[in-house]
Amino acid sequence: MSQAALHVRDLCFSHGNSFSLSVPSLTVEPAERVALIGPSGCGKTTLLHLIAGILTPQFGEIEVLGQRVDGLADSARRSFRARRIGLVFQEFELLDYLTADENLALPFRLISQAPNQEEMSGRVQNIASRLGLQGLLGRRPAQLSQGEKQRVALGRALVTGPGLVLGDEPTGNLDPDNARRAINLLHEQAAAERAAVLVVTHDYSLLDRFDRIIEFDGLREVSE
Amino acid sequence: MRSAWGLAWLRIRRHPVSTAILVLCLGLTIALPWTGRVLVADYRTELLIRAADTPLVLGERGDRFDVVLSALYFRNGRTSFIPFPATDRFGAEAPGVVVPISARAAAQGAPLVGTTLEYFEQRGLRISTGDFPVYAGEVVLGATLAHTLELGVGDSLFSDVTELYDLAVPPALKMRVCGVLAPSDGADDGAAFVDLTTCWVLEGFAHGHDDPAEIDPEYVLGGDETGLVISDALLAYQEITFENLADFHDHGDPERLPLTALLYWPASEKDGTLVRTRVNQRGNYQMLRPVEVVDELLAYVLRVKQLMDGLSWVLGTVTLALGALVYALSSRLRDAEFRTLRRMGCPPSFVMRLVVGEVLAVFLCAVIFAAVTTYTVRAALGDLTGWLR
């Protein structure tokens, strides 16, 4: 059993005749910060979805935090994702009818054995204070700036204490200053939770903030 | 499980306008047939209770609905005519209680009913304050009417003049309120009751004035020992008081004194059947069983209700189809939200519960809205048989 946060081996995924993805090997250590770069359409997002268990590979192994996710049943995969993997999206994808604190607490609604109300509230307050969101908790997404929305999205990804955080161009909608601030926050908070971070990005100015950069070479293989 | 319902409730709360519009549309669709059903049921009950309380009605030959509705609900009582002496003639051959009704006059918009004290006894009407009318010029008010007109014992009630341009019709008569009836939840609550003489005064069949022997000769235009011709300048009394009560009289044939109907409570069912058969065979009047007439009337009402029910079904189907369309379109708009939830690890059943929870909450709110609307309309309409008067 591997101790890595993420271990991918001989992964193959194809979608019809037009798209195929092959990843011979990819490993991310606990608390490691890894950037995934490559041209548009090369399959970076697909790889993140395979790792998160949103998609299922035809061949290969995906092991997240010691758990083989590729062989899990749908429901078990969803449950594992909700509990152990944090996801941050380019469009933030906050629910517009929830306030910031309700968006932060949303992952608890999706897991079957959620902590009690007091503990949940404590976790939300804790993550909100770490991300500087205390004064914004009662606001809905429409009342937040882009940077504030991204901080809420980061908090939502981290609030359950995941071992692996996956980011799909999380700074794509932010200006350079806010993008750097968001990446710094992601790294700080992930480090506090001892979570590994794997981020797809096109923003090369942020690459110095990562421990390791993986260039995704076409649709074929991963070169480290 | 609770999380999906909770999320559904949060979404509804945060979209109050669209939710309110949906609740309003659905609520009105539910309220329309519901209100119709409740009102028809109430109306039926009210009509049948009063009809069942009045075994038989004697009236002029003609429209049976007019006879029964005027005798029971004092509606349009001028259409039926029974001469006053018929009361005694009919009473002599009909064992039981015979009560004359004259529902030809009105006072301040309410029916003014002339009858005898037996009427109150047969209907089980009790006095709340004051007393029943014993003398001409006294009036007892139904509870609702007294409340509406804000009148009590000692106040005055004026009769309505129905023929403003007919100089032969007497002017309005001032009547003294001698009592107020306790509420009875029936047509009596909205009526005023006087004795028969007062009704005839109102219709010009009786009047009161100074003794001709004491009249100023200026007003005497002519005459002989059989009678005097007096000038119109001598006004008849416009109020019946204890002082002038004795001066009221009628000059005509008692057969001209009008009644609307006779209510008949037979001593036994057999007596009722015998008298009814006899009267109907004789043919100059008709004797009706109000329950049968009201049932016939309700059959028309129920036919209209069936039509309304049919329309409600069509309306309901259209509303539900539109509601489904709204949710289908809103689901498309919410694709991103559902995708996010799925990506975060929520099962498809969670999204299903979220949508179903919203639909159920809207439906529940609509049902509550419909219930409140129905019972508000019911309370606002109050006496459903009021339109019959």
**pLDDT tens-digit map of A159-199:** 888 999 999 988 887 888 878 888 888 888 888 878 899 99
Residues B266 and B322 in one domain: no
**What is the predicted pLDDT for the residue at A190?**
84
Q: What element of type H or E holds B16? A: helix B16-52
Q: In A, which residues are within 8 Å of B337 by CB distance?
A: 95-96
Position A223 pLDDT exceeds 60: no
Residues B126 and B95 in one domain: yes
**What is the predicted pLDDT for the residue at A2?**
46
Tokens of B388: 């019959």
Minimal Cβ distance to A97: which of B11, B343, B345:
B11
Tokens of B38: 């409740």
Residues B260 and B305 in one domain: no
Interchain pair B345, A95: CB under 8 A: no
Buried b (16+ CB within 10 A) or exposed e, A108-134: bbbbeebeeeeebeebbeebbebbebe
- The answer to whether position B78 is within a domain reads yes
Lowest mean pLDDT among A55-59, B29-33, B166-170: B166-170
A206, HSE (Cβ side, Cα atoms, 13 Å): 28
CA A62 to chain centre: 16
Lowest mean pLDDT among A25-34, B20-29, B322-331: B322-331
Domain end residue (candidates: B265, B288, B311): B288
Position A139 pLDDT exceeds 70: yes
- The answer to whether position B101 is within a domain reads yes
Position A147 pLDDT exceeds 70: yes
- Locate the chain B residue with the closest alpha carbon to A49: B343
How many other C-beta atoms are found inside a 10 Å radius of the C-beta of residue B227? 10
pLDDT, mean of residues A137-163: 90
pLDDT, mean of residues A119-138: 88
**pLDDT tens-digit map of A111-121:** 877 778 888 89
Residues B41 and B81 in one domain: no
Residues B13 and B67 in one domain: no
Q: What is the dihedral of CA B369, B370, B374, B376, to 10 degrees?
A: 10
Q: In B, which residues are within 8 Å of A97 by CB distance?
A: 10-11, 14-15
Residues B85 and B197 in one domain: yes
| Residue ranges of chain A whose CB lies within 8 Å of a chain B CB | 52, 54, 75, 78-83, 85, 87, 89, 91, 93, 95-98, 102, 106-111, 114, 140
pLDDT, mean of residues B48-59: 89
**What is the predicted pLDDT for the residue at A218?**
47
A165: three-class secondary structure by DSSP: strand
Tokens of B225: 């020992």
CA A146 to chain centre: 18
**Chain A contacts in chain B segment 44-83 (CB below 8 A):** none
Which of A64, A74, A97, A149 is the best mutation test for B, with the most CBs of B within 10 A? A97
Which is more confident, B254 or B181? B181
Residue A209's alpha-carbon distances to A38, A188, A196, B165, B234, in angstroms, are 17, 11, 14, 103, 116
- The answer to whether position B345 is within a domain reads yes
Q: In A, which residues are within 8 Å of B342 by CB distance?
A: 54
pLDDT, mean of residues A85-111: 89
Query: Residue A12: what residue type?
Result: C
Position A220 pLDDT exceeds 50: no
Q: In A, which residues are within 8 Å of B4 by CB distance?
A: 109
Minimal Cβ distance to A109: which of B7, B14, B337:
B7
CA B321 to chain centre: 40
Average pLDDT, chain B: 84
List of domains in chain A: 31-56+73-223 (3.40.50.300)
Domain end residue (candidates: B268, B288, B308): B288
Interchain pair B7, A140: CB under 8 A: no
Residues B284 and B301 in one domain: no
Q: How many domains does chain B have?
A: 2
- The answer to whether position B319 is within a domain reads yes
**What is the predicted pLDDT for the residue at B238?**
72
Give the residues across from B83 on adjacent strands: B258
Q: What angle do CA B237, B239, B244 make, to 5 degrees?
A: 65
Chain B nearest-CA distance from A180, in A, is 25
By the 8 A CB rule, do A58 and A13 touch? Answer: yes
Position B338 pLDDT exceeds 50: yes
Minimal Cβ distance to A110: which of B10, B336, B344:
B344
Closest CA to A19 of A218, A223, A222, A224: A218
DSSP letter string over B81-145?
-EETTHHHHHHHHS-EEEEEEEEEEEETTEEEEEE-HHHHHHHT--EEEE----STTEEEE-HHH
Residues B117 and B257 in one domain: yes
Minimal Cβ distance to A110: which of B11, B339, B346:
B346
Tokens of B184: 């009875």
For residue B208, name the pLDDT band (cuts at 50, 70, 90). low
B378: three-class secondary structure by DSSP: helix
Q: In B, which residues are within 8 Å of A154 by CB distance?
A: none
Interchain pair B345, A81: CB under 8 A: yes
Q: ipTM for the complex?
A: 0.84
B261, HSE (Cβ side, Cα atoms, 13 Å): 35
**What is the predicted pLDDT for the residue at A224?**
47
Percentage above 90 pLDDT, chain B:
28
Q: Is B10 on the interface with A (CB under 8 A)?
A: yes
pLDDT, mean of residues A90-106: 90
Q: How far apart are CA B41 and CA B47, in angstroms?
A: 10
Q: What element of type H or E holds A60? A: strand A59-64
**Chain A contacts in chain B segment 305-364 (CB below 8 A):** 336-337, 339-347, 350
Q: What is the dihedral of CA A40, A44, A49, A53, to 10 degrees?
A: 160
For residue B125, name the pLDDT band (cuts at 50, 70, 90). very high
Q: Which residues contact B288 (CB under 8 A, 6 or more apart)?
A: B56, B57, B58, B59, B64, B67, B68
pLDDT, mean of residues B132-155: 91
Average pLDDT, chain A: 86
Residue B66's alpha-carbon distances to A138, B53, B83, B259, in angstroms, are 68, 18, 17, 14
Please give the residue range of the domain that contains residue B349.
Answer: 2-46+297-388
> Strands (DSSP E) along chain B, which ranges?
56-60, 82-83, 96-107, 110-115, 127-130, 138-141, 156-158, 174-181, 192-195, 207-208, 220-224, 227-230, 248-249, 258-259, 261-266, 285-288
Q: How far apart are CA B265 and CA B122, in angstroms?
A: 8
Residues B158 and B270 in one domain: yes
Residues B281 and B305 in one domain: no
